[in-house]
Amino acid sequence: MKKLEELTYFDILEIPINASSFEIREAYQEALSIYSEDSLSTYAFFDGEERKRVLVKIEEAYSTLVDEKKRAEYERQLVREGKIDMSLVEDKGPRKPIPLFQVGESKSRDAFVNRIRHKVKAGDHDEERKKILDKEQLSGTDLKHLREAIGLTLEEVFEITRINVSILRSIEEDHHESLPAMIYLRSFIKSYAQVLELDPERTLQAYLKSIAPS
């Protein structure tokens, strides 16, 4: 698990090395929606200093990668430091064009999110929740079992939390080496717990105990 300072700008924005300018802008807006002060998904999970650190890194990543010259130099720096392979820089392939317009889908997304929340509340899973919260150590597998019992897909969890599906999968499958930096992970676990209607703080503390050795 890397620290925030060890993440590359591509890691911070969760984009591939060959991301287009449009994808960079999309990832930037997505990151701001998660970590800004008015974010509904993580506003309670960061203190002011942590949020400031994350937002500073997001701004650094965006301002560097959206500028072609700065990006090229940054990629060369990553190659020199051995953080990425030269072939990833040399063979990017064509980047996607930047769309001039994008159709808003906020209303349809809101309706979709409401359906997901209704699904979570519809079933009677209080006993399963109690068993999880009574555990001193809680694994990603425990969260996965509850999610599946409720009938949620990872894609549906993503729609509410905006946590990348690959990260959710790493959490659920206890792939500790693939987990994001702790400053991100703490908010992700709390957001995920909230979706499953688990106590966020109790869930986080039990989860952290289970990954402590790693």
Domain CATH code at residue 37: 1.10.287.110
**86 and 114 together in one domain:** no
Residue 65 lies in a domain: yes
**What pLDDT score was predicted for residue 170?**
93
**What pLDDT score was predicted for residue 38?**
58
Q: What range defines the domain where residue 22 resides?
A: 4-90
Report the C-alpha dihedral over residues 32, 35, 40, 43, rounded to 10 degrees: -150
Q: Domains in the chain: how many in total?
A: 2
Kindly report the CATH number assigned to the domain that includes residue 132: 1.10.260.40
Tens-digit pLDDT profile for residues 103-112: 445 556 677 7
**What pLDDT score was predicted for residue 184?**
83
**185 and 117 together in one domain:** yes
**17 and 62 together in one domain:** yes
**79 and 143 together in one domain:** no
**61 and 114 together in one domain:** no
Residue 190 lies in a domain: yes
**What pLDDT score was predicted for residue 102?**
43
pLDDT truncated to tens, each residue of the chain (214 aa)? 677 888 899 989 988 888 888 889 888 888 887 776 655 455 455 666 877 888 899 999 999 999 999 999 999 999 999 888 777 676 555 444 444 344 445 556 677 778 888 888 877 888 899 999 899 999 999 999 999 999 999 988 988 888 888 899 999 999 988 888 887 888 899 999 999 999 999 999 999 999 886 5
**149 and 196 together in one domain:** yes
Residue 99 lies in a domain: no
How far is the CA of 87 from the CAs of 81, 92, 182, in angstroms?
A: 14, 8, 30
Residue 100 lies in a domain: no
Residue 205 lies in a domain: yes
**What pLDDT score was predicted for residue 100?**
37
- Of 90, 121, 152, the position where a domain reaches its end is 90
Within 13 Å and on the Cβ side, how many CA atoms surround 16? 11
**78 and 142 together in one domain:** no
